[in-house]
């Protein structure tokens, strides 16, 4: 399966966002990962829909919006209007996942479900055929620059098996602590979309960092 790299703008310079986005676009990124944090679901605040709308004007990269917010249903329309191409909600943030997925997909946007490190894959059981992507958090969400949690590898492998056994086409994205050491491990485990913040924006040569993460 083709490996896609999604740089996270959480590690970019927010005062020079357009320049930093164009840097990763020119360097071969496949998607742009946008971390939305509300200070409730996670202990940090980042950016909201107006920033997504502004970003959409300065890049052709598909916007992969990772909502780390409570009550995501209340805000889906604003992120859809802002031009998100993929919207991922956390399974822990709402007890009506099916409804959220329907709301996202009926707008023609790809739908993802994210799981915290402590959340079991079993919550996906009923919705797996309805979604386009599962985002496995390999750190506890809220901050960039954290260390990869090794047990995520086994979780990715079990998810990959679950998807294959059911003959489904669902992308597996992994987010948190991805660098040149952990990337080959998550790819081997079955992930096909790799989010990387610090490993991309902290690299002296961004094109090379992206190529290394992709393994090409
Ligand atoms: O969702 C996130 C944090 O909650 C970020 O996408 C993630 O942490 C990326 O940062 P890094 O690659 O530096 O770990
Ligand atoms: Fe993220």
Summarised one tens digit per residue, pLDDT across range 94-152 is 999 999 999 999 999 999 999 999 999 999 999 999 999 999 999 999 999 999 999 99
Residues 174 and 182: their CA atoms lie apart, in Å, by 11
pTM of the predicted model as reported, rounded to 2 decimal places: 0.98
Does residue 132 carry a catalytic annotation?
no
Nearest CA to ligand 1 atom 8: 144
- 43 pocket-lining for ligand 1 (C-beta < 6 Å): no
| C-beta contacts of 108-112 below 8 A and 24+ residues apart | 109/80, 109/84, 109/85, 110/85, 110/86, 111/86, 111/87, 112/86, 112/87, 112/88, 112/171, 112/173
- 35 pocket-lining for ligand 1 (C-beta < 6 Å): yes
Listed by start position, the domains of the chain span 4-214
Classify 100 in phi/psi space as left (phi over 0), alpha (psi -120 to 50) or beta.
alpha
Q: Is 73 annotated as a binding residue?
A: no
The per-residue pLDDT for range 29-59, each reduced to its tens digit, is 999 999 999 999 999 999 999 999 999 999 9
The sheet with strand 63-68 has its strands ordered as: 4-7, 193-196, 171-175, 133-137, 110-115, 86-90, 63-68, 32-37
Instruction: Quote the ipTM score.
Output: 0.98
Kindly identify the ligand whose nearest atom is closest to the C-alpha of 183: 1
4-214 CATH fold: TIM Barrel (3.20.20)
Contact criterion met (CB below 8 Å) for 12 and 200: no
Q: Is 120 annotated as a binding residue?
A: no
Contact criterion met (CB below 8 Å) for 175 and 33: yes
């Amino acid at each position: 399966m083709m490996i896609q790299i999604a740089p996270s703008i959480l590690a970019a310079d927010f005062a020079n966002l357009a320049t930093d986005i164009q840097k990763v676009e020119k360097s071969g990124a496949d998607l742009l990962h946008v971390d939305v944090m509300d200070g409730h679901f996670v202990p940090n605040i980042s950016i909201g829909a107006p920033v997504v709308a502004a970003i959409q004007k300065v890049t052709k990269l598909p916007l992969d919006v990772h909502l780390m917010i409570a009550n995501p249903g209340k805000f889906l329309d604003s992120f859809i209007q802002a031009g998100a191409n993929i919207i991922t909600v956390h399974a822990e943030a709402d007890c009506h996942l099916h409804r959220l997925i329907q709301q996202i997909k009926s707008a023609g946007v790809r739908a993802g479900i994210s799981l915290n490190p402590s959340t079991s894959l079993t919550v996906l059981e009923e919705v797996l055929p309805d979604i386009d992507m599962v985002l496995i958090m390999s750190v506890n969400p809220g901050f960039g620059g954290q260390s990869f949690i090794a047990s995520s590898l086994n979780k990715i492998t079990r998810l990959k098996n679950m998807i294959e056994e059911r003959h489904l086409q669902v992308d597996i994205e992994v987010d948190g602590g991805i660098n040149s050491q952990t990337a080959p491990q998550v790819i081997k485990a079955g992930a096909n979309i790799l989010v990387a913040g610090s490993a991309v924006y902290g690299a002296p040569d961004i094109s090379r960092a992206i190529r290394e993460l992709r393994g090409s």
